[in-house]
Chains A and B, each alone.
Chain A
Amino acid sequence: MGGVHPHDNKISTEAAIEQFPVPAQVVVLMNQHLGAPATPIVAKGDKVKVGQLIGEAQAFMCANVHSPVSGTVSKIDICKDPFGLAKPAIYIDVEGDEWMETIDRTPDIKRECNLEPKQIVDKLKEMGIVGLGGATFPAHIKYSVPEGKKAEYLIINAVECEPYLTSDHRVMLEHAEEICIGISILRKALGVPNAYIGIENNKPEPIRVMREMAAKFEGIIVEPLKLKYPQGAEKQLINAITGRRVPSGKLPIDVGCVVSNVGTTFAVYEAIQKNKPLIENILTVTGKKLPSQHNYQVRIGVSYNDIIKHSIGELPETTGKVISGGPMMGKAMCNLDGPTVKGASSVLVIDESEAVRAKESNCIRCGKCMHACPMGLEPYLFSALIKNGRYEEAGAHNILDCIECGCCFFSCPANKPLLDEVRLGKNKYRGILAAKKK
């Protein structure tokens, strides 16, 4: 149902993951996850080691934050993130690279895991693991199945349907065994018989590698999926693998599914087996006009400018946008001094020629937006309703089901900024619902 076929532009698939050098300073944001910010538990002047807890999760929907470097806390202050939003942060001046003694830094793969499900979840919380697919949902909450609900499927999202991005692709090629161990741990935590790895079938190499590896494990099945954006959207992926549909306003667990990004499973392996907290991301540096393409393992808190300087020197003259994430759902950055956070997947440099939107014209009622919508919604109708302030009608037409995949705007021949309007409508309608509750 619905979907579009953008050019996939996966030009960085051949670039092996390189270790990104530790910079002179990092800025660690306290809210790198969905929910409340963590509370700093270090003070200015404190010495910290790599992997030391520096921000503690005190609210329910929150995650621990660890120091990605060793050095001295220089200040605790408000920092502007890459999108210009002010957030509480810990600034650390780097001195050496001294890790916590508990972290196993040997290259050996540790296969045995004797923890009980409850212990696994506790350890995920301790290590500050969050979902790395984009939403940064705290993992310990996802893997604590609520009373009265039952997980039947564990689905690993390795679709990577966004154009350009290759971090999941590379992780699968280079860390297949660790991923499978991570999946087995999550399977155990949930108590589900099988885990399904969904991979779009334009990635034959990862499919082959994962299949070979999965054969050595119990209950891991690789499912090649049809090439179509947004195949990797959570609801679409669940539907493709199980045939089930998450109802409006419900969560995957309501239909017995738990979905985890493949990058997260690697982080889970490192956290559970190697005691390594979530302090690094796999990040793609790509763009058609860049002199070289890269995939890096980068410490959290490194500024985007540091990444650009080290990888390509400086941005090309004709740079239009620098995007965190893919071109369909990623966010355009305005402040490259801002730091990376958990879940950051790319630095995508888009040329001026593609970055500027074409002029908008009248809707010609071609219905392309409607046929492209993977949720079966009517973006053209939302556009008209929202322009006229008719938010409640938009709500009645299920505007809150929109997953913001961008297929509508992508396919619109009149270049109407449909998704901008829908986002406005969703927010207004949520406001109306909240006011009604009071």
Chain B
Amino acid sequence: MKLLNISGSPHVHSDESTKRIMWRVNMALIPALIVATLYFGVNALLVSIISVAACVLFQWLIEKFIMKVPTTISDGSAVVTGLLLAFNVPATASMLWIVVIGALVAIGLGKMAFGGLGKNPFNPALVGRVFLLISFPVQMTTWPKVGGIFPTRLFTDADSGATPLGIIKEHGTEALPQAWEMFVGHMGGSFGEVSALAILIGAIYLLCRKIITWHIPVAFIGTAFVFSGILYLCNGEQFIDPVTTILTGGIMLGACFMATDMVTSPMSKVGQLIFGFGCGLLTIIIRNWGAYPEGVSFAILLMNSVTPLINRWCKPARFAK
């Protein structure tokens, strides 16, 4: 007689998989990539492609030759890291090679050194990004001028523009772009961060697919808005208004895509609210009193480091007391 399979229950599984989650996150990043390409030209697209290719390649090499385990590149997580890393750099020609170093650090140090996807305490893309920011401070803060809807040239290094946060540090708030321009992304900055609109489209997709919940983004952006609003009301000349605060820099991308990384954020809803609150608070503190004009990366990494503690404190409500 034919042998039957046996195993413990349950005998059926939801069709959920890590692979599907990761590829859906990639899908959600596409609107931001399209907008970046429209504003910053082919450079943005090229940097993204190189970053993704480098991340996938490094993961494959490390798994094959160092860890000697079956490769997991098809799960799409290296692609997510590659895209997010690229989104966090300026779209300049020098990034075409610098981003490769960032990819090595992100995948090698940020992820594989800990044992691969799921084991890393810090968001790999941010590890790579911060490494580049510290190692290549000039290149990482040389911003290409933002083009029109149809950019006139491929490589935009010739003109350098400035980010809104840079403008404020140097010239005060008068020279800022309009709020609606910032919302659609018509401003200088790391190329994946600029368009709040494109990021929100991706985030809504992730919410509908139940890959992220509203807790971290709302707590993050809400805290940044309220905290900067309080500062603005206290001293409108020294501090930026809250709308500009949340539309500039990496807050939108950070809150929707980086802070919500499943691996490095808390699991319970309460924990996620605390995490988002911490990210928002630290971001505003670093922006206003730190050495860097932008603090999202550092804020998220700092909060990543307390995620295990938050998980320990915020237990789900037990059914049976």
Contacts and interface: CB of A to CB of B under 8 A. Distances in A.
Do A and B share a complex? Answer: yes
Nearest to B8: A420
Contacts of A239: 319
B16 interface: yes
Given A330-B11, A377-B318, 16 more contacts: A1-B317, A245-B320, A248-B320, A320-B4, A323-B11, A328-B12, A332-B5, A354-B11, A358-B13, A362-B115, A367-B267, A367-B268, A374-B319, A413-B16, A413-B17, A414-B118
Interface string A337-360: 000000000000010101111100
B10 A327 contact: yes
A358 B11 contact: no
B204 to A, nearest CB: 19
A377 B5 contact: no
Interface stretch (A70-78, A276-284, A401-409): A401-409
A398 B318 contact: yes
A370 B4 contact: no
A325 to B, nearest CB: 8
A336 to B, nearest CB: 8
B318 A411 contact: no
A377 B21 CA distance: 23
A248 B8 contact: no
Contact of B13 (A245, A336, A410): A410
Contacts of A249: 320
A246 B318 CA distance: 12
B267 A235 contact: no
A370 B272 CA distance: 14
Interface of B: 2, 4-14, 16-18, 20-21, 72, 75, 115-119, 262-264, 267-268, 315-321
B9 A364 contact: no
A365 B319 contact: no
A361 B268 contact: no
A110 interface: no
A224 interface: no
A370 B268 contact: yes
Contact of B319 (A1, A320, A417): A1
A337 B119 CA distance: 46
A413 to B, nearest CB: 4
B7 A412 contact: no
Contacts of A433: none
A348 to B, nearest CB: 8
Contacts of A409: 10, 13
Contact of B119 (A245, A327, A328, A362): A362
Nearest to B312: A381
Contacts of B316: 370-371, 373, 376-378
A366 interface: yes
Interface of A: 1-2, 4, 6-7, 163, 235, 239, 245-250, 315, 319-323, 325, 327-334, 336, 350, 352, 354-358, 361-368, 370-371, 373-378, 380, 398, 401, 404, 406, 409-415, 417, 419-420, 423
Contacts of B13: 357-358, 409-410, 412, 415
A247 B12 CA distance: 30
B309 to A, nearest CB: 14
Nearest to A348: B11
B12 A327 contact: yes
6 contacts: A1-B317, A350-B11, A365-B264, A370-B316, A401-B319, A420-B7
Contacts of B18: 361, 364, 413-414
Nearest to B72: A361
Most buried by A among B7, B17, B319: B319
A401 to B, nearest CB: 5
B316 to A, nearest CB: 5
A4 B210 CA distance: 13
B219 to A, nearest CB: 16
Contacts of A1: 317, 319
Contact of B118 (A245, A323, A362): A362
A246 B9 contact: no
A174 to B, nearest CB: 28
Contact of A362 (B4, B17, B116): B116
Given A327-B11, A406-B9, A419-B10, A370 B267 contact: yes
